[in-house]
Amino acid sequence: MTLPATITRTLAADGRFSLMAQAIRATGLDAVLAGKGPFTVCAPTDDAFRQLPKETLAALMADPTGQLFRVLQYHILFGNLSCHTIKKLNFPKTRLGITVEITEKGGVVIFGGARVTIPDIACTNGVIHGIDQVVIPR
């Protein structure tokens, strides 16, 4: 059994989140998510990133300190929040400073319209929940 690592290391090591890890490195959020925390990251899987229109993904990656930074911060909550806990929060504040709607439908937690498909990946400084869409804040 391997011991948990930081959110940054866990995302980088888990092949389902390589595009999220790449985006986090590009924005500099890797240093934040390697820090003390605790954080909860609702991380889009690689499949979620691939669902974005190619132009949208290219525009985000071309603007790492602008729009990409904004989008990624929207996927980060403060605290070590299990899936069981976040489904009760309704509208928690994200690291971006605005709220995101969290609901539950048919036993599935919905984060800003994205389904949590990989819940509760434990990390030393928080938790990761894999989601099936990149959520773009308004």
CA distance 19 to 5: 18
pLDDT digit string, tens, across residues 37-69: 999 999 999 999 999 999 999 999 999 999 999
CA distance 129 to 131: 6
| Cβ neighbours, 10 Å, residue 90 | 11
Q: How far is CA 36 from the centre of its chain?
A: 17
Element (H, E) at 40: strand 39-44
CA distance 126 to 14: 16
Q: How far is CA 1 from the centre of its chain?
A: 25
pLDDT digit string, tens, across residues 2-32: 668 999 999 999 999 999 999 999 999 999 9
- Domains of the chain, CATH where assigned: 7-131 (2.30.180.10)
Q: Is the pTM of this model over 0.85?
A: yes
> How distant, in Å, are the alpha carbons of 86, 107, 117 from that of 50?
26, 26, 16
